[in-house]
Amino acid sequence: MFKRATLLCFAAVSLCADSDLISESMLYQAGLLSKKYTLDLSTLPPPSPSPQPQGCLSFASCWMTIDLASVAVPAGKNALQVVGDEAYLGALKILGIQAIRFVGLKEGGTHRISLRIDPRFGTLADWEALVQTAGRQSIALIGDVIGNSTGLGIDFSLALQNVADYPGLYHLVEIDSSDWNLLPVVLQGGTVANIPWLSLQDLYKKGYVPEQFTSYVKESHWNATGKVAGQDGKMRRWIYLKEEKLSPVVGWLGSSFAAMRLAAADALHSVYELGQQIVTLDVDTPLNAQSTLSLWTRKLGAFSMQETEGNFEALENVASDFMADTVTRPALLHALIAEDAEVLRFTYRLLLEQGVDTKRLVHMLQPFDRFTCDWSLWLNTPNKKYLYYDEQLTGDVLKRLLLREDLVRLKQPSGENLPLSTWAGYCIGALQIDDFTTQQEKVSQAHQLLAFFYAMQPGAFSVSLSDVLGALPSSQDPLDLLGPNESTLYPSLPLQLKTPRSFGAGLQRMLSVRRDRAIESAELIGVPNTPHRNVLILLYRQKGTQYLQLLAINFGRKGAQETIEMSGLRQTTAIDLMTGLAETKPLDSASYLLNLPPLSGKIVLFQPKYYN
């Protein structure tokens, strides 16, 4: 009997909705979890209505993202056994990693079909062994809550058979047999067919769909199924809202609230069953679901992180403890390739103006996926005017200006978007290096600067396995943290940690300073002006003190020197936190001379000097 699959055949067939099939579904498992922990949860206090990032930052502010599908696995082992090995987690602990997010841990990955661990990566016993090892290394674990769509798994099959609450999981609409002529033909051997926009107009007039379609698009957001025999014996045809080609979108506001029940149980499973202390919410999860799941996660004693679109509006109503920093990524890339930090200054000033608590941001150094340089900062405000240098430009004009500069400098004369890449790949392009094998140190210098920029800011800092090894954009090879890799810029992590000028050794020093100086808990208070377009300066206040902390980055290929004038610098000494050495600064002076070599950064603490 069919038990589990990523794709089901629905055309003119009936999959028997027996108890065995139902018991394998996510919604059924969600019900079991709810009953199992009802008494335990009833004794818990109500959660805080406001985000609580500090509780997590105190023990896990340095994260790593590992895509289990990209892990190199020797014969006879699986990915969880490899990553859960004492040597593997021990190396990450030495690096300074305090939490690990495993991408695709549960079956189906982004388009979930089960609450179970994906058998491709290992067994539950393998996971439990990993949890034990991570506990010994004081490394927290991060999981994912079901996203805005699922795969074509058992739950979707049961929904099409009209079983119990399963149809309420999705944006699923039954079409009367008299209107089947409005639906596209599902080809023999197929499962669904996309609905043309002209047919959607007819379905809208019949009251089947809201007016959410675009004229003349090649593919609409709605699919139609073939004939499916229901549990009651009735033949039905359905239409459903989908993501990508096939994945059905979850119906968060269905009358049964089945989707919310499933997502809440998924978070419960991650925290109580898998021992994960932080969970991430999908970027497309609607605000009402985000808010409920954030409260629910805090009730469970865990923390949540909301993935976000790359615009400021996406940050305004986030209820999670953390939110992914996608607004600074395109600006950081632009600063690197154009040697121009103005848009980065502009971005941080907007963060201050909008009152964004930067301690809630997760600064992610990882390969680009959907956020390249699309400049979605101004996605919702294309006609609003902004002051950029000395000009008043609309968001749309500014977006086009910056994108054109990016394309030219990365030698992309045509096309609206930059190619997806890794940060190491963009460093090679920004420095216009043809033979990176002979200039690895130069690439590593730029790559370390990007890591330094994010690691020296409040909030959480997340680095990827791809970045630690310097994965190249063209590489699809599995990544071995502890062994040799043929298509990465850097050697294994143990070898890097033995080489003082390597990317890994530099990252280790940064994370050590970050932890020792509680940089994750600092407060952003200002973005000073600078005459150097290639220099960015951010001003912070240390937690619980009035001490000023200055982060300065030179994205240029030439050195920069600048005098910082600020009344708060009087009666202070300047300490370079990375070296631990005092900088030249008169105690009585309110000025500080900043020297930045090419492609370098500095973090300076201004500390009062007391006399007896």
Of residues 411 and 487, which shows the higher confidence score? 487
Q: Cite the beta strand spans of 207-290 per DSSP E.
A: 222-225, 228-229, 235-243, 247-248, 278-281
Phi first, then psi, for residue 346 (nearest 5°) are -55, -45
DSSP output for 261-278: HHHHHHHHIIIIIS--SE
Is 50 exceeded by the pLDDT of residue 552?
yes
Tens-digit pLDDT profile for residues 583-601:
999 999 999 999 999 999 9
Indicate the pLDDT class of residue 415, thresholds 50, 70 and 90: low
Mean pLDDT (the chain) is 91
pLDDT band at 418 (very low <50, low <70, confident <90, very high): low
Residue 156 has pLDDT above 80, yes or no: yes
pLDDT of residue 2: 33
> What are the distances in angstroms from CA 590 to CA 253, 371, 399, 606?
58, 41, 38, 11
- Residue 442 is predicted with a pLDDT of 93
Domain spans, the chain: 522-608
Q: 17 pLDDT band (50/70/90 cuts)? A: low
Q: Mean pLDDT over residues 323-345, rounded?
A: 94
Band (pLDDT 50/70/90 cuts) for residue 189 is confident
Instruction: Find residue 64's DSSP bridge partners.
Output: 100, 463
Can you tell me whether residue 112 is helix, strand or coil? strand
Q: Contact 113/155 with Cβ under 8 angstroms?
A: yes
The Cα 539–Cα 542 span in angstroms is: 10
Q: Is the model's pLDDT at 507 over the cut of 90?
A: yes
CATH number, domain 522-608: 2.60.40.1180
Within 10 Å of residue 539's Cβ, how many Cβ atoms?
Answer: 20
Backbone angles phi, psi at 3, to 5 degrees: -120, -45
Q: Which residues pair with residue 228 across a beta bridge?
A: 13, 236
pLDDT digits (tens, 9 = 90+) for 135-155: 999 999 999 999 999 999 999
**In contact, 223 and 195? CB cutoff 8 Å:** yes
pLDDT score, position 11: 36
- Mean pLDDT, residues 42-70 taken together: 96
Q: What is the pLDDT of residue 129?
A: 98
Tell which wins on pLDDT, 269 or 18.
269
Provide the pLDDT for residue 397. Answer: 93
Task: Look at residue 532 in the predicted model and tell me its pLDDT.
Answer: 95
pLDDT band at 419 (very low <50, low <70, confident <90, very high): low
pLDDT digits (tens, 9 = 90+) for 515-546: 999 999 999 999 999 999 999 999 999 998 88
Taking only Cα atoms into account, the Rg of the chain, rounded to an integer number of angstroms, comes to 26
pLDDT of residue 138: 97
pLDDT band (50, 70, 90) for residue 116: very high
Do 108 and 149 touch, CB atoms closer than 8 A? Answer: no
User: Per-residue pLDDT averaged across 95-114, rounded?
Assistant: 95
| Look-up of token digits 């040799």 | 484
By C-alpha distance, which of 310, 303, 469, 329 is closest to 395?
Answer: 310
CA distance 397 to 133: 52
Burial of 392 (0-12, 13-18, 19+ CB in 10 A): exposed
